[in-house]
Structure 1
Amino acid sequence: MTPVIARLDAAQLAAHRDELADLLLAVVRGGSSLGFLADLDHDRAAAWWDALVPAVEEGSLALWASRTGDGRLDGTVSWYRESKPNGRHRAELRKLMVHPRARGRGTARALLAEAELAAARAGVLLLVLDTETGSGAERLYRSAGWTEAGTIPDYAADPAGRLHPTTLFYKHPRPPR
């Protein structure tokens, strides 16, 4: 089933914060390295989403959510536009996450394609990201045409607290022809 993807504005982000917190918890509990440890609880996950509202409101953060045909939230992706004068041409892709129950159905690829297309339409010339080396996400980015820029050892801890390397990637988004 093809996911339904929509960009969220600040009001929608605030209105769906608990559902988004549940998604974040499921992804972290599933072992994905998203900057959180296993002790993450619903209140802190919801507070993390709440903290994003101002950035969405002022436009530096673009956020998309994916839903199943029956309306369940199954993924998100976002990118931050650089605000420094010498970097306004680039954005950092962040927090591509897919609920464990929805993996293997093309949700991550669809979210990634939507974020890339929106970046191109917004005039973003360069997207960058980092992801855990050896992860499924790394394989996704490679297969989606992202270019590896290098690997940093012991960059971030997984939810269990073990350090892992991260691989840096970049891509020049292209609008459709």
Structure 2
Amino acid sequence: MTEDIKVRRIDANEAAACVEALADVLIDSVEGGASVSFMLPLPREKAVAFWRGVANGVARNERVLLVAEDRKGQIVGTVQMIMSLPDNQPHRGDIAKMLVHRKARRRGIAQRLMAAIDDVARKEGKTVLVLDTVAGGDAERLYERAGWQRVGVVPKYALMPNGGFCGTTFFYKHL
């Protein structure tokens, strides 16, 4: 199932080289209805600029970036851990932008990305992880199966890409 998928951490140079492919995954996710901070239509320039910013964050050790690649080396998924947090939270990491291209879904890629980010978090000395996701979405079940604990839901926290409100569920995980 996922034997043909490779999940790996990429450095700042690789991240900078992958911005176009990462933009493809982001645009596909937003067009598929994912509430991940962007609205429809998502201009390619805006998606590319976002990933350039992520690559810069990787270069400054503010973020960790993982990618999932198919056997052809095409990026089909990604997840990040934000490391740049307040001084009193050196043990915490924020998980962000867990995305899988629609053509690669239902193959266990998201589960592999989440397991890999747990491993990286441990190596980076993180003992508490947090994330948020659309309330009632498929990702909630993924996170619960991966051992995340639901904290609660904030109604009307964000907008869906089409402009409608959505609630957001917050989760944490102790490593």
**TM range, smaller chain:** over 0.9
Letter in 2 for 1:107: I
Aligned pair partner of 1:49 in 42, 48, 51: 51
The answer (yes or no) to whether the contact 2:63–2:84 under 8 Å persists in 1 is: no
Letter in 2 for 1:117: D
- Per-residue deviation, 1:98: 0.2
TM-score, L = length of structure 1: 0.95
Answering whether residue 135 of structure 2 is matched by residue 143 of structure 1, we say no
- Per-residue deviation, 1:54: 2.2
Answering whether residue 121 of structure 2 is matched by residue 95 of structure 1, we say no
- Per-residue deviation, 1:53: 2.2
The answer (yes or no) to whether the contact 1:64–1:78 under 8 Å persists in 2 is: yes
Give CA deviations for 1:103-142 in whole Å, capped at 9, x if unaligned. Answer: 1000000000000111012110100000000101111001
TM-score, L = length of structure 2: 0.96
2-side partners of 1:25 and 1:53: how far apart?
A: 17
2-side partners of 1:109 and 1:20: how far apart?
A: 19
1-side partners of 2:59 and 2:73: how far apart?
A: 24
CA RMSD of aligned residues (A): 0.9
Moved more, 31-40 or 105-114: 31-40
Letter in 1 for 2:41: D
Instruction: Please list, as runs of the form range in 1=range in 2, the aligned pairs for 1:1-177 lying within 5 A after superposition.
Output: 1-2=2-3, 3-173=5-175
**Structure 2: any 5+ residue segments left out of the alignment?**
none
**Structure 1: any 5+ residue segments left out of the alignment?**
none
The answer (yes or no) to whether the contact 1:82–1:92 under 8 Å persists in 2 is: no
- Per-residue deviation, 1:69: 1.4
- Per-residue deviation, 1:70: 2.0
> How many residue pairs are counted as aligned between the two chains?
173
